[in-house]
Amino acid sequence: MDGGFNFPIFRTKREDVKKRFNLNDPAERQEYFEFKAGREIAKLKEYFSRGGTFVAYLLGKKNSGKGTYAKLFMEVVGAEHVGHMSIGDIIRDVEEGLSTRAGKEAFLEFVRKNYRGFHSTEETLDFFKKRSTAVLLPSELVVMLIKYEISKRPRQAIFVDGFPRAMDQVTYSLYLRELIGYRDDPDFFVFISLPNAVIDERIKYRVICPICKTPRSMRLLPTNNVGFDEAQKAFYLMCDGPSCKSARMVSKEGDELGVKPLEERLATDGKIMAQLLKLHGVPKVYLRNAVPVSRAKEYADDYEITPAYEYEYDASEKRVKVTERPWMVKDDEGELSYSLLPPAVCLALIKQTVAVLGLE
């Protein structure tokens, strides 16, 4: 069972044509999506061209790939049509803005006009000053922050990442559109499941582009460009986003500990997902990261399965050699499984989004 949730396995394999793609290469990745979901992509682009939008709530345990799948979706259909809204990023941006007088005044003005809750304007600032990763902001303040972020964006379809994060936020999420007074377009939940063993590896080897915030993994999802820091005797990835100019990707402090510091958070995330899975009246998309080894050949092409990458520096040639090998993990029920590469999971997101929007 994948992550404790018995989600259906989505078939990405095509039997009619034997064609391989390097899913780490942006050009081949685009070709892959057109090859396997060209019809659905065309329908989504036509939907957006008519002004269609949606609000999708990404629900999964921490490090389940929410941001990665949303950004791949944006890459496929066009970032001008779709936005990714991370609650954590919004909070960090607000905190940065509060460090300047102009930013603080602009935020306070927005709070006075839009905040409804049990705390004064000045008290809302105290929440940011005292905030830690272990203490959540009040739910009504989070709703206002979402509205604050939406106010800065053009009309887009939006993936909301990181809300709800606590049980008391579940009810808020059901009425978020009405609470923020934004719009009345389709909304749906996107549930993401994967084994804790995969999350552990992702955290330990995660790196992020400082410019576009795209996450990758030194071990499981490298970019095309790998460098070697001779002074530190360490390998590093360079972002291959077209506007990032090969920016050096960096890790976060504490990631080397894996899931151990997050056990309580992961348990809460699982409870929230279980609660929302019972909900009626809101369409649901199911994304499954892991496929049992015994069934993988039936459902996925081999190039869609995550390999583990290893690096060797050739000092004579001043270049990094990259090798890969099969990577298997045990799911939360102990079954040996393969983890799917993000584009294969995003393929399921694209096709199911077309279905829930009624575009089939």
Query: Would you say 303 and 343 are in contact if contact means Cβ atoms under 8 Å apart?
Result: no
pTM listed for this prediction: 0.79
pLDDT truncated to tens, each residue of the chain (360 aa)?
565 677 889 999 988 778 899 998 899 999 999 999 999 999 999 999 998 988 898 999 888 889 999 999 999 999 889 989 888 888 888 888 888 888 888 888 888 877 777 878 777 777 776 665 555 677 777 877 887 777 777 678 889 888 777 666 666 666 566 555 555 678 899 999 988 888 898 889 989 999 988 888 898 889 989 999 999 999 999 998 888 999 999 998 888 899 888 888 888 888 888 888 888 888 999 999 999 999 999 999 999 999 999 999 998 888 999 998 878 888 888 899 999 999 999 999 999 999 999 998
Q: What is the pLDDT of residue 344?
A: 96
In a domain, 28, yes or no: no
Q: Is residue 231 part of a domain?
A: yes
The answer to the question of residue 22 being in a domain is no
CA dist 102 and 84 (Å) reads 26
Assess if residue 47 is contained within a domain.
Answer: no
**85 assigned to some structural domain:** yes
Distance CA 341, CA 29 (A): 11
Nearest to 87 by CA among 159, 152, 148, 163: 163
Number of folded domains in the chain? 1
Residue 123: inside a domain, yes or no? Answer: yes
* 82-86 and 157-161 beta bridge pairing: parallel
- Check residue 61 and give its pLDDT: 87
User: What is the rounded distance in angstroms from the CA atom of residue 28 to the CA atom of residue 255?
Assistant: 30
Q: Give the pLDDT of residue 180.
A: 53
Give 116-180 as a DSSP string: -SSS-HHHHHHHHHH-BTTBPPPHHHHHHHHHHHHTTS-S-EEEEES-S-SGGGHHHHHTHHHHH
What torsion do the CA atoms of 164, 170, 175, 177 make, to the nearest 10 degrees? 10
* Residue 319, domain member (yes or no): yes
The CATH number that applies at residue 80 is 3.40.50.300
Compute how many other C-beta atoms are within 10 angstroms of the C-beta atom of residue 120.
Answer: 11
* Full residue range of the structural domain in which residue 244 is found: 52-356
Does any domain span residue 282?
A: yes
